[in-house]
Amino acid sequence: MNIRLPSVLTFLLLAGCSATPLVGTSNAVKEIDANEAKSCTFVQSFIVKNDNPLDKNSDNDVKNIAMNRTDVLGGNAFLVKNEAFLPSPLNIGTVIELTGDAYKCP
């Protein structure tokens, strides 16, 4: 008997252990707190979600996505305003939605 999984589910299962890679100069982006943000220049607010709800390190995944977005926006630091834990579209795993602010710090 041959059982076939839908291609989306197969992809998610195969990618279940990988976090979003940092690109460009995103590895230099740091997370800051509200006190540190006072000495920085606000760039823009953003909302990001982790791509793979089956990732074992969903929190790291969404932080990497936030670091990539901050870098693209021209910032070098980000402040997490809110993290929401949402059910995934396939009801497997968790989607994390991170709301943040990108900053340019000295």
Q: Exposed, middle or buried by CB within 10 Å (0-12, 13-18, 19+), for 99?
A: middle
For residue 99, give the nearest of 52, 45, 32 by alpha carbon: 45
The residue to which tokens 């670091």 are assigned: 67
CA angle 73, 45, 83 (to 5 degrees): 115
What is the rounded distance in angstroms from the CA atom of residue 17 to the CA atom of residue 78? 25
Q: Which helix (H) or strand (E) holds 88?
A: none
Q: Quote the pLDDT of residue 68.
A: 98
Domains of the chain: 7-104 (3.30.1660.10)
pLDDT, tens digit, 9 for 90 and up, residues 60-96: 899 999 999 999 999 999 999 999 998 887 777 789 9
pLDDT, tens digit, 9 for 90 and up, residues 7-64: 444 444 444 456 889 999 999 999 999 999 999 999 999 999 987 777 777 888 999 9
Instruction: Please give the residue that has the higher pLDDT: either 73 or 5.
Output: 73
Q: Quote the pLDDT of residue 5.
A: 46
Q: Quote the pLDDT of residue 17.
A: 54
